[in-house]
Amino acid sequence: MLDIVILAAGKGTRMKSDLAKVLHPIGSRSMLSHVISTARELGDYPIHVITGHGAEQVKQSLSQDQSLQDLGSLCLNYIQQTKQLGTGHAVQQALPALNKDSITLILYGDVPLINATTLNKLIRRVTSTSLGLLTVSLKDPSGYGRIVRDSCGSVISIIEQKDATPEQLTIQEINTGIMAVNSAQLQSWLPALSNNNAQGEYYLTDIIAMAVAHDVEINTEHPEAEWEVMGINNRKQQAELERIYQGNQAEQQMANGVTLLDPTRFDCRGSLVCGTDVVIDINCIFEGNNTIGANVTIGANCIIKNTHIGDNSEIKANTVLEDTTIANNCVIGPFARLRPGTVLSTNAKIGNFVETKKTIIGEGSKVNHLSYVGDAILGKDVNIGAGTITCNYDGVNKHQTTIEDNVFVGSNTALVAPITLGEGSTVGAGSTINKNVESGTLALTRSPQKAMKDWQRPKKK
């Protein structure tokens, strides 16, 4: 049995923000969301979130977090710490909710990249006569509590930097704060904590000395990578951890066979599943949930959100795709914007400076350049000329344009919806069409062209 306690009450003054500290994002998800997801990887155990500053803000954010909803049933027990009197005091608030026969795992909402593998190893270090403590050795341990060991190498205490002697400050092994302890022992030790220290706070770390006094062995475990236990207290640390997170994402994609032309200029702020032989150029951003088929090429500077891209398709540079579905063998861009509700069928083409919204593009159809097509259904083998727009909004309501198979629309055409262009019809360039066009016919609206001989241009006086 396991109880998971996540400390998330801090104000985060150094973030200089009205947003609760633990809600600041890494990879577009809050730090706290990352920690909760990792906790869930350990099993379907109770998760107790200790809130304080911005408590309602935290609850609202987590309730709307799609990544957590995707985990399925997830019951979070929120516990309010009305006064922030230290980490020991924070865990004290959770004592009534803990099962006395369980192990309590203590995590931190501002340490977002902790790995479930590391935590499982830590939990296995707990017995009836031992607890598990996660430590790490740093070249520069400034600011962290030091691990004090005896001559035999056994941990005997943790000393906070502000309370440490000059000799203790030379210790490089530091406390990460993450530990796993028998809940019954916590029930005994936490009420006995004292705030007789430089900060006037109740330190959770003081239970280490209590454990030693009760002949409880301190078993230390270490993360595989230092970044697992890096906390965030300011914007600089947030940016540093963001790049580490994105680097990890890039490494995973390359391990799965994706070609990243520059892994340091790749951002995945959600999930990305790729087929074989996918090539992604620089500065591409993936948000939400995206799937990419085999043999897909994505050009530089693209933003892709909640989109499926089929096999053998090409997304050219500077294209924005959001909530779209793209079939096999399509070509899009450069500088195209496909807005939510756009669906492309096989062999469709969207050219440069084209915008679509809530539009179905049929097989083999083309919208080549400088056009807007919204609230429309295009059949097969439709050609939309440059500068064409669907006039779908009358100031109050949206209206649909239907373009049937094999229609040719000339350049610089305005199609005033609601309207239907019948199969095989043609619209002459420069037309404004506001009535249905029958199949197989030519429709055009033009004023007669005039020529005035001996015309004199105006001249400046």
- Is 222 a residue of the active site? no
Q: Using CA atoms in the order 154, 160, 162, 167, what is the torsion angle rounded to 10 degrees?
A: 10
Count CB neighbours of 74 within 10 A. 16
Start-to-end Cα distance in the chain: 93
Q: Which amino acid is at 176?
A: T
What is the C-alpha separation between 71 and 66, in angstroms, rounded? 9
| Nearest of 95, 68, 79, 60 to residue 9 by alpha carbon | 79
CB-neighbour burial class of residue 405 (10 A; exposed 0-12, middle 13-18, buried 19+):
middle
**Distance from the Cα of residue 433 to its chain's centroid:** 44
Do 305 and 286 contact (CB within 8 A), yes or no?
yes
Do 339 and 350 contact (CB within 8 A), yes or no?
no
How far apart, in Å, are the Cα atoms of 253 and each of 117, 231, 245, 291, 315? 20, 25, 13, 12, 18
| Nearest of 416, 384, 419 to residue 402 by alpha carbon | 419
Ramachandran assignment for 400, one of left (phi > 0), alpha (psi -120 to 50 degrees), beta (any other): beta
Catalytic residue from among 24, 308, 369, 399: 369
| DSSP codes joined into one string, 279-327 | EE-TTEEEEEEEEE-TT-EE-TT-EEES-EE-TT-EE-TT-EEES-EE-
Count CB neighbours of 425 within 10 A. 22
* Positions marked active-site: 369
